[in-house]
Chain A
């Protein structure tokens, strides 16, 4: 079998460049979605706030000021081809090195602590990154990267439902999660919802769902319909943009599913703020 070789240097260089890109620019689909929300919003206060958010998207790359001062936890979902050999360093080290260099280069805030409970000492360079590796067929490397702010992550939830639960129960769980989050998660939100798997894979599904293109519905019409029902129910809460009321609390809902145990129905909801900073790098 002929393997493809990819160097640590090449991965690091592309990662640093991509981190710079997402620091100043959200997902390109966000601005049109916010403009649409602004058009549909009838109340003055949320319109005023939406206008600020849209203006900020224009100002951030112009000023080279991060979109948000919370430059987040750096997350990488790596899809590594089984015919690919990464030379030089293990992927975790490559990602950490890129993050450390990018943090200095783009003046990212140091937001990561080495000890979560007792010492809470800042690592000073945002490392380590959170890396999930999946081996896939082929010789390519695909990295989904994100800067994930603390506010929305803090309000994310997971529930192990009984199999007797219905889609209505899941809709209610999503609505409750968004109401509990209020303004703290920085709506308008994107919801990544994992359904199935087990305790830890369900949370990862929810994270993966946040990387689905903003306007893309689930391939299965049943789940696509559930996404739409959840989105409509959330936008009826009137939490609104930044908790200021109005009709735009969420821009998109994405569901990812996996097989699960006969006793289980895990559901995880990962909230994403409007500063949706992520991209995909293909090697």
Chain B
């Protein structure tokens, strides 16, 4: 149940890596559980409803407009953008709710996920098998995270409201390596 996080408790280290998205193989190779990373590049948000639709699109062979292989999927539903600002509040939601869909997305090339909390044993195994990466962010630090956002645009399915896919361009967005 607590696999990713328990490891993280027992092997703390504060190695910090600046990471540019898409992640290179050499950047990947340097990461260990417990490391801090500062992400720069594009994150695509996806919560429960977006996951449901993503999987449906992929199964039907339809285009989603971005490469899962080169992207970071961020489990997040942002708050609306106030007038005159770049973005609203952002932050991670519970990753375990996406566990149902994660193995399918990994099969379709997904490599990096960013969310909050533990993953199921099945997902941990799938992440290892696909040589993928799961990063955890911190819940309840939206103002701090929002300061790392350079741009925010609705990318897919605006009818889903906060559950739409948003493209967030970030600079030095903090997260921690949980499963690699």
Q: Which residues of A contact B (CB under 8 A)?
A: 43-45, 48-49, 52-53, 55-56, 59-60, 62-71, 107-111, 120, 122, 124, 149-151, 154, 179-180, 182-184, 186, 238-240, 242-246, 273-275
Query: Measured between alpha carbons, how far is A49 from B81 in the docked complex, in Å?
Result: 26
Task: Check if A70 sits within 8 Å of B91, measured CB to CB.
Answer: yes
In the assembled complex, 14 residue pairs joining A and B whose CB atoms fall closer than 8 Å, in A order, are: A43-B12, A48-B14, A52-B144, A53-B140, A62-B143, A63-B143, A70-B93, A109-B89, A120-B49, A151-B93, A151-B116, A183-B117, A184-B96, A242-B116
Asked whether A44 and B142 contact (CB < 8 A) given A66-B79, A69-B88, A184-B117, the answer is no
Q: By the criterion CB–CB under 8 Å, are A69 and B136 in contact? A: no
Contact with A along B138-171 (1 / 0, CB 8 A): 1111111011000000000000011100000000
Q: Contact between B10 and A243 (Cβ–Cβ < 8 Å)?
A: no
Decide if B116 touches A69 in the complex (CB within 8 Å).
no
Q: Hey, which chain B residues are within 8 Å of A242, CB to CB?
A: 116, 136, 138-139
Residues of B at the A interface (CB closer than 8 Å) are: 1-2, 5, 8-10, 12-14, 34, 36, 49, 76-82, 88-91, 93-94, 96, 116-118, 136, 138-144, 146-147, 161-163, 174, 176
Chain A residues within an 8 Å CB radius of B77 = 69-70, 109, 111
* Bound Cα distance A182, B95 (Å): 12
B94 surroundings in chain A (CB, below 8 A):
151, 154, 184
Cβ contacts under 8 Å, B36 to chain A:
48
Q: How far is the CB of A51 from chain B (nearest CB, A)?
A: 10
A44 vs B96: C-alpha distance in the bound complex, in angstroms?
A: 25
The reply to whether B79 and A56 contact each other, CB–CB distance below 8 Å, is: no
Q: Is the CB of A182 within 8 A of B5?
A: yes
Cα-based distance from A275 to B140 in the complex (angstroms)? 6
Do B78 and A69 touch across chains, with their CB atoms under 8 A apart?
A: yes
- Report whether A243 and B79 are in contact in the complex, using a CB–CB cutoff of 8 Å: no
CB distance from B137 to the nearest CB of A (A): 9
A184 to B93 CA separation, bound complex (whole angstroms):
8
Contact B141 A56 (CB under 8 A): yes
Alpha-carbon distance A150/B91, docked complex (angstroms): 13
5 extra interface residue pairs, beta carbon distance < 8 Å, beyond A71-B79, A120-B49: A48-B36, A65-B89, A66-B143, A110-B80, A186-B116
Interchain CB contact (< 8 A) of B141 among A53, A240, A243: A53
Q: Contact: B140 with A64, CB < 8 Å?
A: no
- Determine whether the beta carbon of A44 is less than 8 Å from that of B116: no
Instruction: Give A143 Cβ to nearest chain B Cβ, in Å.
Output: 24
B140 touches A67 (CB 8 A): yes
A109-B147 contact in complex given A48-B36, A65-B88, C-beta closer than 8 Å: no
- How many angstroms from the CA of A243 to the CA of B34 in the assembled complex? 12
Query: Which residues of A lie under 8 Å from residue B117 when comparing CB positions?
Result: 182-184, 243
**Min C-beta distance of B56 to chain A, whole Å:** 15
CB distance from A33 to the nearest CB of B (A): 14
Q: Would B9 and A59 count as touching, CB distance under 8 A? A: no
CB-CB nearest in chain B for A121: B161
Q: Given the complex of chains A and B, what is the CA–CA distance between A59 and B148 in angstroms?
A: 13
Residue of B nearest to A154 (CB): B94
Q: Judging by beta carbons under 8 Å apart, are B142 and A107 in contact?
A: no
Interchain CB contact (< 8 A) of A107 among B81, B116, B143, B176? B81
CB of B139 within 8 A of CB of A273, answer yes
| A60 nearest in chain B by CB position | B143
Distance A120 CA – B13 CA, assembled complex (angstroms): 42
Cβ–Cβ contact A56 & B8, under 8 A: no
Residues of B contacting A55 in the complex (Cβ-Cβ under 8 angstroms)? 141, 144
A244→B177 CA distance, assembly (Å) = 11
Contact of A183 among B5, B79, B141, B143 (CB under 8 A): B5
Q: Among the listed A45, A68, A154, A274, which residue makes an inter-chain contact with B89, where contact means beta carbons less than 8 Å apart?
A: A68
5 smallest A-B Cβ distances: which pairs? A245-B9, A183-B117, A59-B143, A275-B140, A186-B139
Residues of chain B with a CB closer than 8 A to A45's CB: 8-9, 12-14, 34, 176
